[in-house]
Chain A
Amino acid sequence: MERVERRWSLSAQARYAVDWIDRTPGLVAGVLEAHRVPAVPHVTNLEELRGLPGIHAVVTATEVPATRFTTAGQPHKEPSPYDMAIINRVVRYMGEPVALIAAQTQDDLRRCLDRAIVEYHGLDGPLHASCPDNVLARWSTHIGESMGPIAGDGTMVTVQRQSHLQLEPHASMAMIEPGGRLVLWTTTQVPYHVRRIVARALECPASQIRVVATDVGGGFGSKQEVIVEPWVALLARLTGRVVKMQLSRRQEFLLGRTRHSATLRVASLWNGQNLSAMHLEVDVITGPYGGHGSSVAHNMALKTLPFYRCPRYEFDGQVRYAVGPVAGAFRGYGGPQGAMAVETHWDEVARRMGMDPAALRIGSLMQEGDPLDVLDPINDRRRVFRGDPIQDLIQKCLDAAEWSAPRGLNEGLGLALSMQASGVPQAELAMVRVVLQEDGMLWVTTGAVDMGQGAREVLRSIVADAVGISPRGIRIVPGDTDLEAFDYGTYASSTTFVTGSAAQKAAQQVKRQLQDLVDILPWRSKSQGPWGGYTIEELAEASFYGPHRRPVVGLGVAAPEQSPAPVAVLVAHVHVDSDIGQVTVQRLVAGVDVGHPINPIAVQGQIEGALAQGLGYALCEEVHVSDEGHVLTQSLRDYAYLSAMEMPPITVILTDTPDPDGPMGAKSAGEVAVAPVAPAIANAIYDAVGVRVRDLPITAQKVWQQMAQSQKSWATCELIKQQD
């Protein structure tokens, strides 16, 4: 085993946080996990633990800064409540730190954990004293003139917790520099938010912290959370040593975050085939801490209701604290939950009216110029829909999926739509610095990170296009807060649109400065080089060492008002095994409007990845939690997820309609295709066997139960008929 490690250290580049951890000597951080919640824990043999060989620090709740913060990586001041300390005096989820430990080795850490004795004083009542009824937020927003009460129960769906299942676990390493600054290497989507949140948690100025964001080996929102960074930072400060930590897969399930579970109800009011009002009601479980809860809940409406033109929108809801793992940001961010409710409802309404579900939708779709912020009557014209007519995209998908063809036995097709934003509307900021180096390379410094979505390639393409050079001459330098390229981070499908806009602006400045330089240099024949006869290398040299000494530096800032909405249309083709309820997805046809796809292959990959994640959400993925708050699915043996072999054939139809505000005409692409999968499959199952499953994931057992119930109801009807 040693041989392998040595070979690795000699050959590999440190690219991911775990590489840094493997190669850097330092203390190992660990968590003494809570086993009973909610409770006040007490480590009865604390001094004994501190005296164990190889133990450098054991810290409990009474010894950490009292400042509360949120782990949600959002811009200051976060909409999420400050309801968490580095170690909380009350533990509220299984696995929550009772104490943090810094040990010389893993073995020392394990011995310490094994010897720890913890007594729990159990608590009754609310999880947080500030919320006596455990309700963190409640709202009722009704926009437009009422056309009368919305009758009927509508459509009620329940959606589950889902794990991000990102390949790379959370991992961070902290050290104190000479001079006292803290340096954090971490796998994060939000380096600047990490800096600010850790600074708050440690009660120190943000400039006393440097965050180096490594490449991210999978995030999906999980690394928009600041989980392990404050822990290693605190221990590094206490010990003065390098402290590192990497969560295990089990800890990812316990200490990581999940998609929010929720119950949603949709009802609508119709005047013939004209939609008069839509009502969406959500009851969202945020877990024992509130990060992202309210934002995610509101996005359940904002990503679904604007799709359909309607004189009145009603959105009621609440976010509740509950035992179990903490919920957080997750690819789609409210969209998948909202789409499951709204798109299932549209299918039900269409069936009730005896209409084709596609035709009913097409009759009510939003059009170019329609408002996107339908729940904000004052600013509802600030963001409007622009893009290809959605009905055209729907028609393309229906044709590709052979919507009108006769179905085989127990086969069905289902349709669903979804929309996303391109960054958080009116809440994005990105700075990008483009500097021409001595050798003619352009260095692009950004606070965004590459988490496998291809940010590097996209930013490189945008800069290359704007400057007019080959992408090979561009180096992207991401994610180091000391490099003065502030960025809200890589989330909300923002990087291409927001950071890309900043990169484009910076690159345009660079191009102007290069042209200015050309203008003041002696004239040369254009055949000698593309820039007034000069090559980029010659201009670079001239900018530093020529008579005018004028370095070429561009600084682009993007704080967009717009956040154009990409749209996804999905048709799912399923077969249902009527004996056991097993659903086999035979094909997915996805039509996506992402504006102009800068890198079509990467966009295709994003869409396929999103569909895969949506498919797992639809069919099998669920973080099961016992009534006491124990996570039952603590490993990849227990947590059901789909493998590559279960992916059906996928057809992706990309439109190419440049958005006027997007860099190179691009909108976002990363999240939009997750949301329609579950409702499209639910609708396809109804089409196939006539049963409606409104409870995700749609397991074979649930389909079978619905079929059995349906047959029972049918049998009862027959019986009643006979009796009559």
Chain B
Amino acid sequence: MQWIEASTLDELQSALVQGYRVIGGGTGLLGDENPVEKVVDIRRFPDANQIVEYPSRWQLGPVVTLTHLQAWAKNHVPGLADGLNRLGTPVLRNLATVAGRLANREPTSDLYPMMRLLGTEVLVMSREDPQPRWMLLEYEGPLYGANRVWLALRIPRSTKRRRMVFEKITKARLNGSIVNGAVSWQQSVANGQIHVQMVISGVFEIPCHLSVCSKPLDLATKIRAQWQAFQQMGWVPIDDFRASAAYRAHVAGVVLERLLKTQSGFFESSLEEA
């Protein structure tokens, strides 16, 4: 195996042109079973393992570990810190990186729903386009594919005003994830309307995104309606050895209700405060 370290964009671009791959996470990829002939290591990139605070955003290096993110989030995005606590075990969180966990997509992804709700963006470069560009974290699209490198992630600071809760249903803590859901909400000071977003993964091949802006009283009804619409859109729930389609759909419904219940508690307290 050829292994080089890149610490500048030029070195990285040069490595990509020579056919080196950037591997984020998935240490098993380097084992006997998944031979990789050329690997470029970007751990020495400036701030690769740092979380840097800017006036409008927090910027995360791609090899920031989940443990690091969790420790940071405690003071900045408590909902994210709580959610991260339910991902794997401390051993896994010490090793797993944010970019690795997100870039190795899977339908039952657990980090994706939270990071998506936070409005995370990814700084991407590719062999064809050496100019790095910020793109919104989405489950599909130009973020993924061969020769793409995630150089950084950023979370807008406006996220701080949002509240977020995460729910995870799994066969076993380390693996066998069945359904994950995250909800975030924000109340407008001007008109009292609440903007609720939910991302549920594990039901369909692609995590589904629900978004409703409403007065508190109508909110649950609208979310449920949107969820039913998703189910009726012809999307086929995943049916595999981990869980049946029927069970996934049922669990997603339960997760949805629980998340709604959590945020309704918040609304009630908000209304009382108001």
Contacts and interface: CB of A to CB of B under 8 A. Distances in A.
Interface of A: 1, 106-107, 110, 248, 250, 579-580, 582, 616, 619-620, 622, 624, 632-633, 635-646, 699-701, 704-705
B76 interface: no
Contacts, number: 69
B94 interface: no
B144 interface: no
Contacts of B244: 701
B250 A700 contact: no
B241 A643 contact: no
A643 B33 contact: no
Contact of A644 (B3, B89, B175, B251): B89
Given A635-B28, A639-B175, A642-B172, A250 B250 contact: no
Contacts of A106: 32, 35
Interface in B1-17: 1, 3
Interface in B223-274: 241-244, 247, 250-251, 254
B74 interface: no
B48 interface: no
Point out which of B31, B172, B178, B251 has the most chain A C-beta atoms below 10 A from its C-beta. B172
A643 B88 CA distance: 9
Given A640-B175, A645-B89, A633 B247 contact: no
B172 A248 contact: no
A636 B32 contact: no
Contacts of A632: 241
Nearest to A30: B32
Given A106-B32, A110-B35, A643 B254 contact: no
A580 B171 contact: no
B241 A633 contact: yes
A178 B173 CA distance: 52
A580 B254 contact: yes
Nearest to B39: A1
Interface string B159-171: 0000000000101
Given A248-B32, A250-B33, A704-B247, A624 B173 contact: no
Top 3 A-B pairs, shortest CB-CB distance: A640-B176, A640-B172, A624-B241
A203 B44 CA distance: 56
Contact of A643 (B1, B28, B172, B243): B172
A636 B33 CA distance: 14
Contacts of A580: 169, 250-251, 254
21 contacts: A106-B32, A107-B35, A110-B35, A250-B33, A580-B251, A582-B169, A616-B172, A619-B172, A620-B171, A624-B241, A636-B174, A637-B175, A638-B176, A638-B241, A643-B173, A643-B174, A645-B89, A699-B171, A699-B243, A700-B178, A704-B247
A620 B174 CA distance: 11
B243 A701 contact: yes
Contacts of A639: 175
A172 to B, nearest CB: 16
B175 A636 contact: yes
A121 B51 CA distance: 58
Nearest to A624: B241
